[in-house]
Amino acid sequence: MMSTTAHAPTTTALSGAEVLMRALIEQGVEVIFGYPGGAVLPIYDALFKQSHIRHILVRHEQAAVHAAEAYARSTGKVGVVLVTSGPGATNAVTGLLDAMMDSIPLVCLSGQVPTALIGNDAFQEADTTGITRPVTKYNYLVRRPEDLAPAVHEAFAIARSGRPGPVLVDLPKNITVGDAPYIGAQDIRPRTTKVRTQPEREAVARAVAAMKGAKRPLFYTGGGIINAGPQASEALRRLVDMTGFPVTSTLMGLGAFPGTDKRFLGMLGMHGTYEANLATHGCDVLIALGSRFDDRVTGRVNAFSPGSFKIHVDIDPSQINKIVHVDEGIVGDVGAVIDMMIEEWEHQPAATHEADLAAWWAQIEGWRALDCLRFTQDGAADAIIKPQQAISRIYELARETRRETYVSTEVGQHQMWAAQFFRFDSPNRWLTSGGLGTMGYGLPAAVGAQVAHPDALVMDIAGEASTLMNIQELGTIAQYRLPVKIFIINNHYMGMVRQWQELLHGSRYSESYSDALPDFVKLAESFHARGLRVTRLDELDNTIRQALAHDGPVMVDICVAEGENCFPMIPSGAAHNEMILGPEQESSGAEVSTEGRMLV
């Protein structure tokens, strides 16, 4: 247990639940996403009796976690979840792992049966700390009243320190019912993982020297920059201004550098742009900032950016050399590292490779001229809408509103198209399940973002299959009158599954057809939201505009072409320079190696 330097018991006895509320308030918590149940009734009672913290009642515990993730991701604060014991806690597991994979700071409070019953297979008992150990940064089972407040304070410290992540505090009912001492956050010394935020100067100097000597440099930025706060994004912009280097980003890093800036090459990786992937393959110095060489980024690892000097900046030392061997690993807060890189860049002798850099940019512009995201949309008034057309129009028309905009997605083709077509100019605006790829993330995430930003435009770019996985959250949206705009890109298929079956499994569409879909318009209406449907090209813009202008929740069923595939694509097991650009280049499946097919 963490050490307490002073016990400061309060004069009036507080119940454990009241101590919990006080600790949450001291931690600055404003919103909790949760769902009540037997084991957390004392906590809900304490919640009822206070007025500092707002509770958002979700319709499923998984959704509580995703909503809290989006709340955290879009505000930079720690998201808080409250669930009951047993099924409440197990339902939260997927969300916790999602937050773990995408480094989202969360504190999940779970109820537990009284300590005397633990191990007796009591009603709604689960070994919650055992189940959640691999999906959290840390977890607690609070067995003694005096451990309660310190555990909560430490949980927040761990969730937000270093590489952020989820922390679970399991609270037996006798602990929340009985008296407990309140101990303030200043009275404990929280253990966190050993975090180095300030980088080693010499390593940064060596990295900058390599950058100065680069002929074909590339920044490869990731979600770490978003986690490092808006000042890290600002610093990145300055560093790119100074160096003139091109920038590519991971899925999680979108928005850290402006998507509309000329120096931004788009996302890299499996569904990244041609220019980003060929630049990654051909660069001579690769500067990875807060990114982790995920398999969706690297493609075949031994062919990843083969000739480059690699610099990797990460706050988590275990990420360095985990997948790709790097030449200069720098442990530190990526914002602090970029600041130091800027100092070093100013301090070190000027780069002498202006001409080389210009030639590199000319090469990149050549790749960019291929316009790899192009698609053909039949222009007839009654033409079937292409999913790319739908998503690019949502982007353009939402942009025209000039409102502060947050975008969540579900998982699949629509997610990749959204990542390709939406150009985020600010961090914290893009909410997507990257590492875990959790279908059903987008709708609850939109709830969390709208709760955090009541006046902003919040959209969920959804697929008809994914969105059904947490469709019950329409109830939450109705209860709190959250004016979320849900755009369902409805192609009647689990699109990405269908795409892989076409490319890798001989077009045998095994179980990927979305049969027996609900009438989404009626479904929306039954949840007191507006429902719209569009099937023809000439009605697309108008329908999107209507949805954006409506001041309540809207669900738009956009019926799109069924067979469209998401390109460009690096087939699994292939290298960046072996990407498929479009349908004309589709492989028959026979060309993909068995090794490649084994990759997910």
Partner 1 sequence: MQQEISGSAVISLLVDNESGALARIVELFSGRGYNIQSLTVAPVDEQGTTSRVNIVTTGTPSAIGQVKVQIERLVPVSRVVNLSDAGPYVAREMALVKVVSSGESRTEALRIAEAFRARAVDTTATSFVFELTGSSDKLDSFIDLMRPLGLAEVSRTGVASICRGPKTIQNF
Contact call for residue 40 and partner 1 (CB under 8 A): no
496 as an active site residue: the answer is yes
In the bound state with partner 1, the residue whose beta carbon lies nearer, of 194 and 347, is: 194
| Cα–Cα–Cα angle for 194, 200, 206, rounded to 5 degrees | 145
From 49, 50, 123, 262, the catalytic residue: 123
> How far is residue 135's CA from residue 94's CA, in Å, rounded to a whole number?
8
51-70 footprint of partner 1 as x/- string (CB under 8 A): --------------------
202 as an active site residue: the answer is no
Contact call for residue 28 and partner 1 (CB under 8 A): no
Closest separation in Å from C-beta 42 to partner 1: 23
Count of residues engaged in binding partner 1, rule: CB under 8 A: 22
Judged by CB under 8 A, the residue of 321, 348, 376, 401 near partner 1 is 321
In the bound state with partner 1, the residue whose beta carbon lies nearer, of 42 and 223, is: 223
From 2, 26, 30, 124, the catalytic residue: 124
**Strands 3-4, 188-189: pairing kind:** antiparallel
Binding to partner 1, residues 194-213 (CB under 8 A): 194
Contact call for residue 129 and partner 1 (CB under 8 A): yes
Judged by CB under 8 A, the residue of 138, 293, 309, 361 near partner 1 is 138
61 as an active site residue: the answer is yes
> How far is residue 413's CA from residue 492's CA, in Å, rounded to a whole number?
12
Specify the DSSP element, H or E, that contains 223: helix 223-227
> How far is residue 524's CA from residue 399's CA, in Å, rounded to a whole number?
25
Sequence-separated (6 or more) residues with CB below 8 Å from residue 152: 20, 23, 24, 27, 107, 169
Judged by CB under 8 A, the residue of 75, 115, 192, 577 near partner 1 is 192
Contact call for residue 11 and partner 1 (CB under 8 A): no
Contact call for residue 191 and partner 1 (CB under 8 A): yes
Contact call for residue 108 and partner 1 (CB under 8 A): no
> How far is residue 226's CA from residue 221's CA, in Å, rounded to a whole number?
10
> How far is residue 403's CA from residue 284's CA, in Å, rounded to a whole number?
40
SS (H, E, C) 55-122: EEECCCHHHHHHHHHHHHHHHCCCEEEEECCCHHHHHHHHHHHHHHHCCCCEEEEEEECCHHHCCCCC
331-370 footprint of partner 1 as x/- string (CB under 8 A): ----------------------------------------
> How far is residue 225's CA from residue 424's CA, in Å, rounded to a whole number?
14
- Stretch touching partner 1 by CB under 8 A, among 24-32, 264-272, 310-318, 570-578: 310-318
69 as an active site residue: the answer is no
Are residues 546 and 567 in contact, defined by beta-carbon separation less than 8 angstroms? no
173 as an active site residue: the answer is yes
Distances (CA, A) of 297 to 15, 249, 268, 301, 354: 50, 10, 6, 9, 29
Per CB under 8 A, residues contacting partner 1 are 1, 129-130, 133-134, 137-139, 141, 143, 158, 191-194, 302, 316-318, 321-322, 325
Q: Which residues are catalytic?
A: 61, 123-124, 173, 496
